Amino acid sequence: METGLASLQFPGRCDEVIQLQQRAGRGALTGDERALLAKLYEETYTDRRAGNEVMRLLTRTFSREPIPEYYRYSNLHVYSWFLDLHPTEPVAGAVLALEATLADLDAVERRAAPQLTEADHTEERLRRLDALREQIGRLRVETDGDTTAAELIDRARDDGLARWQALVLTRCSGFLASGDHHENIFLRSVQACELAFYLIRYFAVRARTSIGRGDGQAHALMAQLAHYVELPSHIFHMLQTLTPDLFLNFRDATGEASAVQSLNYHMMELTVYGYDVRKIEAYSKFDHLRELTLPPLRSVRPLREVVLRSGDPELTEALAGVERRLLTWRGRHYGFGRRYLPGVKGSGGTEGAGYLKRFVHKDNLIPEPITTAPGLDLLGFAFR
């Protein structure tokens, strides 16, 4: 971020609220401080004037609403707000959110580098972060055009409003649970993965719809999907510069904020593969996931089924490539759980790495009978 923007004052008490949450991590907030933040949220929720928008984003985590712990931790409501600013260009919005998130992480890592040691792996982390941002820059953001993410990002840097929106996104979403520097890469990786899961679902749904309509865009959409589906693995490659010891230093502070609660992840798998009855136990543990066990979501027609029924060899080959890349991601995710939490239960109440292992392979997945789900919106960013 530019120095001028990074020091910009937000309206009212927003800067005070930011400093309060940044001081030692949200886990160190006192009961009185949490009550104050909840009160500020309630006041701005009731009074919807534009000047209160940033305060709402800053304090929604402390709402007395029944928000799942994962969403209190990951601040995905801020990402939903940002994506809502790009209703006609959701891919562009998600790409800009990815770049803002990773650019902020880069700035945080570079500021901390002089105080860190070789054991912190900062140099390697920055190299992998650079590679990830370059990978994102090469992505095409248009199905029927040649604009790359890098071109889009360059244009946004010259746009004052776009820079302001990116600043709001990063300052309202980067709060750690602990005071540990290394939690930054974990939190930002979680948020980047959520955007990746959303983008994969977006292209999967559009490709499936295109095949059904026969509008001639299916091959181009599957080609885009094949590139976007690599993002979770690239993000995890960067995240693996966080060693198990560094991870365990802050892991307890994240509480019950398990990614097993992620709607974007489960809906991505739902739209690619279909309903997986093996997940019903995990779904049933969380109120916001129970909707995945019922029609119309349970009955969504997956991309896999539509492609195989099409009989188009090019689409079938493209699907195979997509599934290989997703298999690689699931393998890395399982490997992360096995390395970082050996013999430890996952924070979402699952058996940790053992839970992940059960879902690495999809060959034995038998989807539910499929029905149509007219009017179901599967193209929006999902959060609670």
pLDDT in tens, 192-218: 999 999 999 999 999 999 999 999 999
Q: Is 374 exposed, middle or buried (0-12, 13-18, 19+ CB in 10 A)?
A: exposed
163 close to 5: Cβ distance less than 8 angstroms? yes
The pLDDT value given to residue 333: 74
What's the pLDDT at 295? 82
- Please give the torsion angle defined by the CA atoms of residues 167, 172, 175 and 181, in that order, rounded to the nearest 10 degrees: 0
Q: What is the pLDDT of residue 283?
A: 84
Give residue-wise pLDDT tens across range 342-366.
665 544 444 545 555 655 556 655 5
312-336: average pLDDT: 90
Q: What is the C-alpha to C-alpha distance for residues 40 and 52, in angstroms, rounded to an integer?
A: 10
Q: Evaluate the omega torsion of the peptide bond into residue 11 and state whether it is cis, within 30 degrees of 0.
A: no
- Rounded to 10 degrees, the C-alpha dihedral 223/224/230/232 comes to -150
Q: Whole-angstrom distance between the N-terminal and C-terminal Cα of the chain?
A: 29
Cα separation of 66 and 151, whole Å?
40
Average pLDDT for 149-171: 96
pLDDT for position 255: 85
Poorest-confidence range of 17-31, 175-189, 211-225, 355-369?
Answer: 355-369
Range 270-283 average pLDDT? 86
Residue 40 pLDDT greater than 60, yes or no: yes
> 383 with 71: CB under 8 angstroms?
yes
pTM of the model: 0.91
Query: Quick check: 71 and 384 in contact, CB under 8 A?
Result: yes
